[in-house]
Amino acid sequence: MKRANSGSPEPCSADTLPPEAKRSKILYHDEVYVYSLLDLSDDVLLHIFKYLSSFDLMSLHLCCTRLHNLCYDRTLWRTVDLRARHLPLEELNEYMKFIQPVTKTVAIRGNKRKSEFPELDESFLNTLNLKCENLQELILEDYSILRGNIQIKNFPRSLQKLSFKGCQIIKDGLNGENNNKSYLWGIDRHMPNLTCLILTNCHWLNSHSFMAISKISKLKEVRLNSCHGLSEEVAYASLACRYGLKSLEILDLRDTFVGDSVVSSFNQTSTLTEIYLERPSSETVQHRPDERPPQQEVLLVQLQRGPEAIHQNHQVVNGDAFNRLIFNMIDDTVRGNISDRSVCALGLVNHEINQEIIQNRNEVQVVQGRPRTSTNPNLKKLVVRNYAGVTNQTLINFVVNGPKLEYLDVTGTSVTKEGLQFFKTNRPNVTIISSFDEI
């Protein structure tokens, strides 16, 4: 059967085209189209530019007037992260021209490859205070800060996150009264909205700084890892945990010289969800900061009462003297060590009744049930690495305690493969990390 004609015209070939159409088609194929970035609309360009770094925007704004104006758009400068390389003060000031009231985050880094860290300039903070009334995050890394020129009150009040990672605090010797106080003294009043404090690798930090940190009412995260000035000075940690840190959720004490006594103090912080602990390497040397608490500081010490006690149940003592007394009572072999004693005190639940001996006569013990207080009931993540004193007892403890625990890292500890298998069988929903390849 013959197919019916569809009625559609035959496709035009070069043979059927008239001469003028042939010339037009040849020119059409030979024409080279050139596309330019400037052919795009401003909205499209801004959408592309938001994926560029601050350094790229700085280079791009020098190309032409249109790109210059676009690169100043406020939507591109909500976050200014300049940590990819160290900027001299003159170059840093060029970037500060782009800072705007909508800027929420500013991050800069000094030159850690040099023996002397560059000094943070006061004019930089003045510019931030002037231009960024709503700045939320300020990240400073590897800078030296002259405390006579720059104090906590010089930083923006609106901060929610502050990082001094790797920064040095240098005393100038001119203001003796303030030099006796922690550099963080008064931070709770000056930054009432602070929720995150990063003090990683700050050797000027000592255990007395726990007192200033504990007063920050909204603090949820504090990173103190690699602060080699922190040690087993339990007095300040105990007071800080008892009367402060009411909102703390994340605590990082890795690579510090704190021990069982300090860690045990944090079982009073019921809001903690993540705790990070890791023993320093054998090459790490404990740092003794020059910054010491003022001698007139006192501690209120609660004394045990006895049947013959006729005095008041407290005594006021010198803070330094009390701290030295506690420090000297700790054996050097266990100072800075963490064991089952403190780890098993984390995440306790009060579903058991402890037995307390109240009399012990003629080889007969009279016991009385005593409910146990819950500690860290919200604990979800616990990292305890490279401590030989952490054994299977920790695993057994968390089989019945830490009801919200989701992650446990015991790498480098004394736990056995059998202990890990027992824990995994009883807590299958908890991710367990250890030195064993397979459990």
pLDDT at 289: 57
pLDDT at 6: 47
Determine contact, residues 156/194, Cβ cutoff 8 Å: no
pLDDT at 173: 55
pLDDT at 357: 41
pLDDT at 360: 46
Determine contact, residues 425/400, Cβ cutoff 8 Å: no
- Residue 203 and residue 169: Cα distance in Å, rounded? 9
pLDDT at 368: 46
Domain residue limits, the chain: 37-76
pLDDT at 232: 86
Whole-number CA gyration radius for the chain: 32
CB-based burial label for 300 (10 Å; 0-12, 13-18, 19+): exposed
Angle separating helix axes 417-426 and 392-400, nearest 10 degrees: 10
45, 172, 213, 224, 228 from 288: Cα distances, Å: 53, 19, 19, 16, 8
The tens place of each residue's pLDDT in the chain, 439 residues long, gives 444 454 545 555 555 556 666 556 555 555 566 778 888 999 999 999 999 999 999 999 999 999 999 999 999 999 999 999 888 888 899 999 999 999 999 999 987 665 567 889 999 999 999 999 899 999 999 999 998 899 999 999 999 999 999 999 988 755 555 566 889 999 999 999 999 999 999 999 988 899 999 999 999 999 999 999 898 888 888 899 989 999 999 999 999 999 999 999 999 899 999 999 999 988 877 776 554 444 444 445 454 444 454 555 455 555 555 555 555 554 444 456 899 999 999 988 775 544 444 444 444 444 444 455 678 899 999 999 999 999 999 999 999 999 999 999 999 999 999 999 999 999 999 999 999 988 7
pLDDT at 89: 85
pLDDT at 114: 59
Selecting from 1.20.1280, 1.10.3470, 2.60.40, 1.20.1440, what CATH number does the domain 37-76 have?
Answer: 1.20.1280
Residue 94 gets the label, from left (phi > 0), alpha (psi -120 to 50) or beta, of alpha
